[in-house]
Amino acid sequence: MLKLQHIEMILAIDRAGSIRAASKQLGRTQPAVTKALRQAEAELGVAIFQRAPSGVVATEDGRAILHRAGVIQAEMRRMQEEIDQRRGEGTGRITVTVSPLAANRLIAGAIKRFRKRFPKVHVQITGGHEPMAFGPVRDGVVDLVIGPEPQGKDVAGLSVAFLVETPVSVITGESSRWRSCTDLAQLVEGDWLMIGTQARLPYLQRHFTSRGLNPPVARVTSESISSVLAMVQDSDFLCTYPGLLLEQTLAQWRIRALDIRPPIRPARIAITTASDRPPTPALRCFCDCVSQEAANVFQGAIP
């Protein structure tokens, strides 16, 4: 059976890109790391790495093994953090993926609340978008996502705690040829861009298909909301945008929100965590802080 020391070794080799570099990082001799790798490969019956010009790279089997090894290592870390936090040491780490709405309206207040209870826990925050943000939660790489809730098959393996419902607006430049449009059907042939990656395209297109319209294809996508707004400003670009961010956005950018009738179906913002992984005390506290902040910030918007 593969031992924890083997998992540590193969993950270190993968990060370092060579056995020599991994041995330095681990403070072990190169022969000891090589021996651990050979033991792991013998136990599993497959080669994990193969030689490359500058070191080693994972084989196809190796990539699957390394993925599982990373999940195991993350769970071992969480187990130790659980124990430490129950003892009152209050250390550990939380990884959070936030949507633009959460990044701008929720995360600062939530962090302020959280640090009063767990000042020593490190919080790593990254931006991300559905549906790609949910895979790392299932795998244990990310602890939670604050953003649009998963839908359909994306819900599998996840636990969802609703926070707030945001209107979805369509924005364009102040001088855009679309600035007076009120019917989504008029915008099908428009030049659309999208916040996020191409994986989010169904989230844009469903607004059109639900009305029996042929959906547009966003030819430009960006994970940077600032770059999206810069492209929309003073242009004919069209983009869906969270309504709860509109007020501050319109005050800073030369952008107009279209008065689409009937309105586009709103988006539900939620905290998404793994359903099969018990949260640490710090993670439970962090989720509570996010919920409290959402209740405070969006008092009139929560149904």
What residues does each domain of the chain span?
A: 4-83, 91-303
- State residue 172 phi and psi, 5-degree precision: -155, 175
The answer to whether residues 146 and 99 touch, using CB atoms and an 8 Å cutoff, is: yes
Name the amino acid, one letter, at 279. Answer: P
Question: In angstroms, rounded to a whole number, what is the distance separating the alpha carbons of residues 264 and 241?
Answer: 11
Q: What is the pTM of this model?
A: 0.79
Looking at domain 91-303, which of 3.90.76.10, 3.40.50.10540, 3.30.70.270, 3.40.190.290 is its CATH number?
A: 3.40.190.290
What is the dotted CATH code of the domain comprising 4-83?
Answer: 1.10.10.10
pLDDT by position in tens, the chain (length 303): 778 888 888 998 998 899 989 888 888 899 998 998 999 899 899 999 998 888 889 999 999 998 888 888 888 887 887 777 777 777 899 999 999 999 999 999 999 999 999 999 999 999 998 888 999 999 888 999 999 999 888 999 999 999 999 999 999 999 999 999 999 999 999 999 999 999 899 989 999 999 999 999 998 999 999 999 999 999 999 999 999 999 999 999 999 999 999 999 999 999 999 998 889 999 999 999 999 999 999 985 544
Q: What angle do CA 229, 176, 218 make, to 5 degrees?
A: 55
User: What's 63-115 look like in SS3?
Assistant: HHHHHHHHHHHHHHHHHHHHHHHHCCCCCCEEEEEECHHHHHHCHHHHHHHHH
DSSP state of 72: H
What is the pLDDT, as a whole number, of residue 299?
A: 82
Which two three-digit tokens encode residue 260? 């689409």
